[in-house]
Amino acid sequence: MVKICCIGAGYVGGPTMAVIAVKCPAIEVVVVDISKPRIDAWNSDKLPIYEPGLDEVVKACRGKNLFFSTDVEKHVAEADIIFVSVNTPTKTRGLGAGKAADLTYWESAARMIADVSKSDKIVVEKSTVPVKTAEAIEKILTHNSKGINYQILSNPEFLAEGTAIEDLFKPDRVLIGGRETPEGRKAVQALKEVYAHWVPEENIITTNLWSAELSKLAANAFLAQRISSVNAMSALCEATGANVSEVSYAIGKDSRIGPKFLNASVGFGGSCFQKDILNLVYICECNGLPEVANYWKQVIKINDYQKSRFVNRVVSSMFNTVSGKKVAILGFAFKKDTGDTRETPAIDVCKGLLGDKAHVSIYDPEVTEDQIQRDLAMNKFDWDAYEATKGAHAVCILTEWNQFKELDYQKIFDNMQKPAFIFDGRNVVDAEKLRGIGFIVYSIGKPLDAWLKDMPAIA
């Protein structure tokens, strides 16, 4: 029986391994982590992450061929294939601080693999890492090898949160990079055989190591760039009377552009887009390519601009001050169908409003009060959208949860201060209908309400 061990039971390690286990009953999969609470949660009825469809997949194979454990060394020693799916955040100190990827967790995992291994291993980079990381890992492993043969593969993950299970069941592609040697090709083939249990062969792409590593950073950079492009257009739409949804639809009909990922928003969030672009920028700078670095840096600058533009719009619309006013925040997660708040635009928007002395009241269906406390050092959190909006001067919609489309806005209006404002940072509500109720509505990238037109320009 092939044995797989995955180091890191997070948003990637957990769902990815659960899907491998469910699709490959003859493979034993153990997910290990140094965090005991996380492993305990994976072994409980309340999984540590919210992801539609995940519970069913885990329940189908946990205890059969899928296991979660803190006994990292034992399972690493026993495995044939080791996935490393640890976090790779942006460095906060030292060389490359604020840009470069922090590979501390990765390096310690690699050293541990070298320490405990007694048989040949295939080590798979699942985490998103800077291009050329495999070379460093290879050095750590081979310099400590005790005669053991290691093959390093790059197998970046492209799942998006909220649709992880769907994405893993039907990936657009699986990418495997390896050394172009007979041993390297054999290792690539071994991993290919795992995915071939459910992914059509033509969707499994094999490349050299560096192409695979760089493709992951490139994919996230291209995706984020699309959002910054449409968000940049949204500002121009507001200034000219064009409607960003109409513009997106019209350009998306061009098959070369395509219709997906063109929704204007209050800004992109999530643990990866910003981190991976910063990492790309750093790599470009290190390779003497400042023009390329600046090009990608602009994607992040526009994202920051979009978030502050939103805050400025709220404040300027409400007579240039939100001091002492209750502002209800609907949605705190970085996108719908997840409880994840890493780099959520809601953090920046709330901090902006709090900085202007607003009283902020937050509701999100999946984010816990504890999490908000950690993100904002405040504990005003409501368990219900109607409570959050009661007595408020304004409502800001910051996550596109489906339920926000179906709220009783008449009831919300009746319980708010007047004039009652709605700032829709995700274009989820029917602005005309809400105007009919009496709200002053701002929808990102849409023709402005008469009220807002007379307000000072936004920067």
Ligand X SMILES: O=C(O)[C@H]1O[C@H](OP(=O)(O)OP(=O)(O)OC[C@H]2O[C@@H](n3ccc(=O)[nH]c3=O)[C@H](O)[C@@H]2O)[C@H](O)[C@@H](O)[C@@H]1O
Residues making up the annotated binding site are 8-13, 33, 38, 86-90, 127-128, 161, 272-275, 342
For residue 275, the minimal CB distance to ligand NAI (Å) is 7
Block residue for tokens 């990079």: 177
Q: Whose CB is nearest to ligand NAI?
A: 10
159 binds ligand NAI (CB under 6 A): yes
Q: Which helix (H) or strand (E) holds 421?
A: strand 421-424
Binding mask 401-430 vs ligand NAI (x if CB under 6 A, - otherwise)?
------------------------------
Q: What is the DSSP string of 311-376?
A: HHHHHHHTTT--TT-EEEEE--SSSTT----TT-HHHHHHHHHHHTT-EEEEE-SS--HHHHHHHH
What are the residue numbers of the active site? Answer: 272
Q: Is 268 in the site for ligand X (CB under 6 A)?
A: yes
Q: What is the 3-state secondary structure (H, E, C) of 296-320?
A: HHHHHHHHHHHHHHHHHHHHHHCCC
Among 175, 235, 272, 422, the residue binding ligand NAI under the rule CB under 6 A is: 272
Contact region for ligand X (CB under 6 A) — 263-271, 358-366, 377-385, 429-437? Answer: 263-271
Token pair 């995992």 in the structure block, residue: 109
9 contact, one of ligand X, ligand NAI, none, CB 5-8 Å limit per kind: ligand NAI
From the list ligand NAI, ligand X, none, which binds 220 (C-beta under 5 to 8 Å, kind-based)?
ligand X
Judged by beta carbon distances under 5 to 8 A according to partner kind, the member of ligand X, ligand NAI, none in contact with residue 268 is ligand X
Tokens of 381: 């959190």
Q: Among candidates 199, 271, 253, 261, which has minimal Cα distance to 230?
A: 261
Q: Which residues does the annotation place in the binding site for NAD(+)?
A: 8-13, 33, 38, 86-90, 127-128, 161, 272-275, 342
- Told to check if 356 binds ligand X by CB under 6 A, we report no
128 binds ligand X per the rule CB under 6 A: yes
Give yes or no for a cis peptide into 419 (omega within 30° of 0).
Answer: yes
Q: Please check whether residue 151 is in contact with residue 122, taking contact to mean a CB–CB distance below 8 angstroms.
A: yes
CA distances from 159 to 164, 173, 174 (A): 5, 10, 10
65 near 25, Cβ under 8 Å? yes
What letter does residue 448 receive in the DSSP assignment?
Answer: P
Our finding on whether 188 is near ligand X (CB under 6 A) is no
Q: Rounded to whole angstroms, how far apart are CA atoms 4 and 21?
A: 9
Site string for ligand NAI, 232-261 (x = CB under 6 A): ------------------------------
Cβ 334 to ligand X shortest distance, Å: 4
Place of tokens 């994919």: 219
Tell me which stretch binds ligand X (CB under 6 A): 47-55, 233-241, 262-270, 379-387: 262-270
Can you tell me which residue has the tokens 């094999």? 206
Note whether 263 binds ligand X by CB under 6 A: yes
In the complex, minimum distance from the CB of residue 276 to ligand NAI, in angstroms, rounded to a whole number: 7
Contact segment (CB under 6 A) with ligand NAI among 86-94, 183-191, 193-201, 251-259 equals 86-94
**CA 158, CA 386: separation in Å to the nearest integer?**
37
Quote the CA–CA distance of 171 and 186 in Å, as a whole number: 23
- Interface with ligand NAI, residue 85, by CB under 6 A: yes
Partner touching 174 among ligand NAI, ligand X, none, CB below 5 to 8 Å by kind: none
Find out whether 83 and 14 touch, Cβ atoms under 8 Å. no
Question: Is 157 a residue that touches ligand NAI (CB under 6 A)?
Answer: yes
Structure-token pair, residue 168: 């893993």
Q: Which two tokens stand for residue 330?
A: 């609907």
Per-residue x/- track, 269-308, ligand X (CB under 6 A): xx-xx-----------------------------------
- Nearest Cα neighbor of 272 from 92, 127, 79, 432 is 127
First to last CA, the chain: 61
Instruction: Show the binding pattern over residues 374-413: x = contacts ligand X (CB under 6 A), - = does not.
Output: ----------------------------------------
Q: Which residues bind ligand X (CB under 6 A)?
A: 128, 157-161, 220, 223, 227, 261-263, 265, 268-270, 272-273, 334-335
Q: Which residues bind ligand NAI (CB under 6 A)?
A: 7-13, 32-35, 38, 72, 85-88, 105, 108-109, 127-128, 157, 159, 161, 271-272
